[in-house]
Amino acid sequence: MADWLAALHRRAELRAKAGLTRRLRPRAAEDAVVDLAGNDYLGLATHPEVTAAAGRALAAYGLGATGSRLVRGSTDVHHGLEAALADWLGTDGSLVFSSGYLANLGAVRALAQPRTLLVSDAHNHASLIDGCRISGAETVVTPHADPAAVAAALSAAPGRPAVVITESVFSVDGDLAPLAELHAVARRHGALLLVDDAHALGVTGPSGAGGVAAAGLAGEPDVVVTATLSKALGGAGGVVAGPAEFVRHLVETGRTFIFDTALPPAVAAGVRAALDLARAGDHLRAELAERAAETVRRLRAAGLTVSAPDAAVVSVTAPGPEAATAWAAGCADRGVAVGCFRPPSTPDSRSRLRLTISAGVPRAEFERALDVIVECAP
């Protein structure tokens, strides 16, 4: 084996020894798995109105966008989606990216000037962390959900431009950021607040408008919102929403917008249809909240350590990485897909199962899945 491949092989062996092997598992189009691992929170990925809208745009525009929007042109579908997202989120404007990851990279980099201090929550998603890294700006990582630590970091850099960066619903444990307090701290110090609403959009807030709207911060001039369109909206893509001048700045300077092929129009059209359903989906959110509460109740009653049902992400502590892998595999063997999170994909040394609750899973299957999770527990 060539030297460089032998070196990779040794690293794979070390990961295996630590119980950190990752394997791709096959997925059939018609699999009968009960999905508590994906992020289709409202069950919209397969909704007939969503797939029909995508199908119409597919027929009209073809498979891909064939280029970036600046080069190849900007379709009505993209503009319509951006207007609808801005209206829902209560912002001046929005810009769609081809993924949430690229939206976060673009947003963080665009907010960071040479002297900017980035203040990033310790549990932030990899895309926010990478955004801080590629921005080249000095970054202070503050303890999780700790406005006092954020205030201390900002106080230590008086007179410097700063951006406080957080998720609204954290992706691993599903807990909520103290957004109102973080905003108050940021404003007191003249800093901006960047919130990744990935796991909140469609799930929390008035008409599902997300965590920023739930905190009463929609449209604030010192708040920028990002989100993925791949979770409750069931599609793909990402969005950055905020003041119109900021959106214009992203169009003209955002490398992950300019140098990236646009989101396929068919996906944008499907997401647009999903947005209308999500916005009108209070009944789906009620079902989701009830299921999250029931999940926590049932698993705690079985003696498991479980996070709070703040949104649709519930995490269950596993004794270690191997136990987490075996637990998830046991569930999969019985037809229940759950997320298995082990270091380094966790913000600390704890391994967990991550259950993502969906209102789209038939009720009886959801109930059975909870039984399976308890029965397979280590």
Ligand X SMILES: Cc1ncc(COP(=O)(O)O)c(C=O)c1O
> Which chain residues interact with ligand X by CB under 6 A?
99-101, 104, 125, 127, 167, 171, 196, 198-199, 228, 230, 238
Quote the CA–CA distance of 238 and 34 in Å, as a whole number.
26
CB closer to ligand X, 112 vs 313: 313
To which residue do tokens 């444990």 refer? Answer: 173
Minimum CB–partner distance for residue 310 and ligand X (Å): 14
CB closer to ligand X, 341 vs 366: 341
Helix count (H) and strand count (E) of the chain? Answer: 15, 11
Quote the CA–CA distance of 172 and 142 in Å, as a whole number.
17
Closest CB to ligand X: residue number: 100
Minimum CB–partner distance for residue 174 and ligand X (Å): 11
CB closer to ligand X, 144 vs 368: 144
CB closer to ligand X, 162 vs 200: 200
Supply angle C-alpha 210, 358, 291, rounded to 5: 90
Torsion of CA 152, 154, 157, 161, to 10 degrees: 180
Minimum CB–partner distance for residue 330 and ligand X (Å): 25
Minimum CB–partner distance for residue 197 and ligand X (Å): 9
Spacing of C-alpha 236 from chain mean position = 11
To which residue do tokens 């049932």 refer? Answer: 298
Minimum CB–partner distance for residue 71 and ligand X (Å): 22
Q: Is 208 helix (H, G, I), strand (E, B) or coil?
A: helix
Closest CA to 228 of 127, 375, 120: 127
Minimum CB–partner distance for residue 24 and ligand X (Å): 17
Which whole-number Å values give the CA distances from 285 to 62, 164, 203, 207, 276, in the listed order? 34, 29, 6, 9, 14
Quote the CA–CA distance of 255 and 339 in Å, as a whole number.
32
Q: Name the pairing type of β-strands 93-97 and 351-356.
A: unpaired
Quote the CA–CA distance of 242 and 223 in Å, as a whole number.
7
Minimum CB–partner distance for residue 237 and ligand X (Å): 7
CB closer to ligand X, 109 vs 189: 109
CB closer to ligand X, 99 vs 358: 99
Minimum CB–partner distance for residue 50 and ligand X (Å): 16
DSSP state of 33: -
Minimum CB–partner distance for residue 167 and ligand X (Å): 5
Q: Is 43 helix (H, G, I), strand (E, B) or coil?
A: coil
CB closer to ligand X, 125 vs 285: 125
CB closer to ligand X, 189 vs 270: 270
100 near 198, Cβ under 8 Å? yes
Which whole-number Å values give the CA distances from 216 to 90, 213, 274, in the listed order? 10, 5, 24
DSSP state of 169: B
Q: Name the pairing type of β-strands 238-242 and 93-97.
A: antiparallel
CB closer to ligand X, 93 vs 100: 100
Quote the CA–CA distance of 328 and 322 in Å, as a whole number.
10
What is the enclosing helix (H) or strand (E) of 9? helix 3-17
Q: In 168-319, at which residue ranges do the beta strands (DSSP E only) sit? A: 192-196, 223-228, 238-242, 313-318
CB closer to ligand X, 85 vs 151: 85
Minimum CB–partner distance for residue 238 and ligand X (Å): 5
